[in-house]
Structure 1
Amino acid sequence: MSPGLTRIAAAFLAFMLGAWTTTAASQTLSFSTVVLDAGHGGKDGGSVWNGLIEKKLCLDVAKRVEAGLKARGLKTVMTRRTDTFVELSQRARLANRVPSSIFVSIHFNGSRKTIISGGEVYYRSSRGRTLASAISRSIQSRVTGGARGIFHGNYKVLRDTRMPAVLVECGYLSNKREAARCATPAHRQKLADAIVSGILAVRAR
């Protein structure tokens, strides 16, 4: 190869490497703490379908996610640990006081269209989208029923939090087959493991 072509090839390789590095960096987030928000609680039961109450499942999965994150060296903060009602604005204020953090709100879904099933992850900011994409991919690959994808959402806990934030709908309780899965501790553990994996996938090292 001539010296001119060698220089061109080297420049092209450097450009591609730089582009890859920039893309990789844009897909990572720096944080040391995960604020886990178990949806609903207390007087707010959330969706009630097929004998399941959303608020109970949210707290169960959130605690499982907490255990998984702690086992991997991450700090966690829970917006609620018991069956108590916490205002949405209070959840956001609590999260905003936690430095170097991300926010993950955990829910289950319901619809009159009972054929719908699968997880959904909502985001509002570009950094939230990065986190949402990773969690959705993880649910899709690890959990029976998979994920329906990521969606832009204007939920209050996403509007009022200042860190990367997502709202995870773990599945549709209105779908009988999915509700039967969600009723089992084994399935809820798979959901928790998938959420943990998605969180770890975007954490900057």
Structure 2
Amino acid sequence: MIRLACIVLAALALPAVPAASQTLRFSTVVIDAGHGGKDGGSVWNGLIEKRLCLDVAKRVEAGLKSRGLKTVMTRRTDTFVELDQRARIANRVPSSVFVSIHFNGSRKTIISGGETYYRSPRGKILASAISRSIKSKVPGGSRGIFDADYKVLRETQMPAVLVECGYISNKREAARCADPAHRQKLADAIVSGLLAVRAR
């Protein structure tokens, strides 16, 4: 019993994981507004995904610039950009992270909430921070983070995430996403998540 108590006390005395291991060094955020042009993405409840993506992406850009970070957009207008081209744009930017912005849709229209996807360990750090921020700041919250092999995550060389901001197939969530004030909350949450893991 005494030996067990000593083991427990020793375990409690172990040093915590350094906070630095959960931070990332970057000066630029590559913001990827999903879909565009001939690719409208999901279309539900009178909403077209590509338009929502671009709107939130521009709001994220404004939020980051106001806090002194540099940004690069993969598209600024309703144009079609191939997935490999999006990755090439990102890979040309030094000291950067990559955030691809999307909205979800499902035949199971009861599903709602944001989702954040990653592929690499450093991407997971970024995904966790953004998911936590969305969960705490945005109505509808977050369904969590998920490992995925999306092309824009696979072909980018920096920490990268894909954020699904909500299910526009869910009528209640679609109504929220149609509101510019809600889209601003989404953008603010993404910005807060990025800043939370940025090494100073």
TM bracket, shorter-chain basis: over 0.9
Offset, 1:26: 1.0
Please say if 1:67 is aligned against 2:62: yes
For 1:132-171, list aligned pairs within 5 A. 132-171=127-166
SS in 2 for 1:136: helix
Instruction: Give the match for residue 7 of structure 2.
Output: none
Offset, 1:25: 1.1
RMSD between superposed Cα atoms in Å: 1.0
Please say if 1:90 is aligned against 2:90: no
State how far apart, in whole Å, the 2-side matches of 1:200 and 1:118 are. Answer: 22
Matched residue type, 1:147: S
* 5+ long unaligned stretches in structure 1: 1-11
Instruction: Give the match for residue 3 of structure 2.
Output: none
For 1:17-166, list aligned pairs within 5 A. 19-20=15-16, 22-166=17-161
Larger Rg: 1
Give the alignment's TM-score, normalised by structure 1. 0.91
State how far apart, in whole Å, the 2-side matches of 1:93 and 1:138 are. Answer: 28
SS in 2 for 1:131: helix
Give the alignment's TM-score, normalised by structure 2. 0.93
For 1:180-191, list aligned pairs within 5 A. 180-191=175-186
How many positions carry a matched residue from both structures?
Answer: 189
Offset, 1:23: 2.9
Matched residue type, 1:170: C
Sequence identity of aligned pairs in percent? 84
SS in 1 for 2:162: strand
